[in-house]
Amino acid sequence: MIITIKKLLNKVGIDGAVALTILTRVIQAGGGIISIIFVSRYLSPSEIGYYYTFSSILAIQIFFELGLSGIITQYTAYESAHLKWIDNFELIGEIHYQSRLSSLLIFCVKWFAIIAAILFFALLYGGFTFFSHYGKGLNIEWKGAWITLCLTTSLNLFIDPLLAFFDGLGHVKDMAKIRLVQKTVYIILMFIFFACGLKLYSAALASLIAICVNYAQIIFTNRIKYLKVIWAAKSEWVISYFKEIFPFQWRIALSWISGYFIFQLFNPILFATEGAVVAGQMGMSIAALTGILSISMSWINTKVPFLSNLISKRDYTLLDVSFNRIAFQATGINLLITICFVLVIQVFKLFHVSLAERFLAFIPLICMCLANVINQLIYAFATYLRCHKKEPMLIQSITMGLLVCLSTVVLGRRFGLIGITTSYVFLTCMVALPWTIYLFITRKKAWHHE
């Protein structure tokens, strides 16, 4: 029986790392679904608008992170492919690769320490300015919760690249365990705090404690020994940020910033134009779909070090076979869960379950769901291309960001929610997907025959 289950899991691409990552995402998504119930029960419609608009504004951390975490995973995987760990935490291999790996770690720590501090003050100022202006007359206690979330986001910005570094070392399964513990602690505490009546403070305090648990899992375990050994290995060979990383990163950064306008602009616009209640409905719908996407993306994200290693060794045959299987599995899972999600919401509405009214109406919801499935496929193609340490998605991402931003502001003002969602799914299906497929086919052919 156990052997049969293992064979079935292997067929759908679920290994140890994927299983733990999926479990983390399921807990996160399940917690998100349950949190919707808690949010609906313990927060007023206006507070719900604040709750989800908080998340959208906090997402501006992408302007500070600039896609560097994913790049760190890839560069670490490239260098560590030539190294090996033996007992007593000894790293063996050419000094050249050891030194380059060490320089990457040192850069990572110093860079993100500075950026995290800047992010804290930027979020603090931006949030107070936005909510003080658009939240007048609502009488919502939000300031303390916002300060706590700003601190948590900054702490997370610093530690996330370290987890990405471990991913690149091949510790994908171990990092999945760390993230699993963090998400579990966060969800449990958030529910407790909601039940205690802490309202907007619930998620803020739960996030702060959970991120502290993450730090403890690194500092007070053997994981810190890996970092110390690598830190001490630096010699004359270094990875030059401006010569090697920056030419790749600035393209990734612009692509990710464009992604902010694609995915995070809806809530603030709706909050400002149609009010906190509609923003809350959009927020809940996006939260559910993000949970679905995060589960299906586990198939791709856990394989980035593996795909990068194959590219480093120029084993393109195994690379393509592996990627095609992974992409098919991820997209299929996304589609299946999305269909189930829509059916559940419609059944709830049929039986007049009040929770269903917290989500978007049928047509806007279908538009967002279809775009979510297409985005899974786009993400898979983009990840494959970026594993080559190149970024061909730059122009596509900027164009999509500008088009979605323009359509959200113009059509949102004239046609409201339906204008925002229909234009978004149209642009995703008719512009983003065909463009991405073209880039995938042409760039793969060119790079693999160099």
3-state helix/strand/coil string of 184-203: HHHHHHHHHHHHCCCCCHHH
What is the C-alpha separation between 283 and 417, in angstroms, rounded?
A: 12
Asked if 160 contacts 69 with a C-beta cutoff of 8 angstroms, the reply is yes
Q: Output 26 or 290, whichever has higher pLDDT.
A: 290
What is the C-alpha separation between 361 and 358, in angstroms, rounded?
A: 9
What is the C-alpha separation between 72 and 319, in angstroms, rounded?
A: 20
Token pair in block for residue 177: 């365990």
Q: For the segment 306-344, what is each residue's pLDDT rounded down to a tens digit?
A: 888 888 788 888 999 999 999 999 999 999 999 999 999
Q: For the segment 125-157, what is each residue's pLDDT rounded down to a tens digit?
A: 988 888 887 776 677 888 898 999 999 999 999
Asked if 92 contacts 22 with a C-beta cutoff of 8 angstroms, the reply is no
Asked if 73 contacts 388 with a C-beta cutoff of 8 angstroms, the reply is no
What is the C-alpha separation between 178 and 167, in angstroms, rounded?
A: 11
- The model's confidence at residue 5, banded by pLDDT at 50, 70 and 90, is very low
Q: Which of 204-208, 398-402, 426-430 has the lowest mean pLDDT?
A: 398-402
- Look up the pTM and report it: 0.67
Q: For the segment 235-286, what is each residue's pLDDT rounded down to a tens digit?
A: 788 888 778 877 777 777 777 677 666 666 787 788 777 777 788 888 888 8
Residue 7: Cβ within 10 Å count: 9
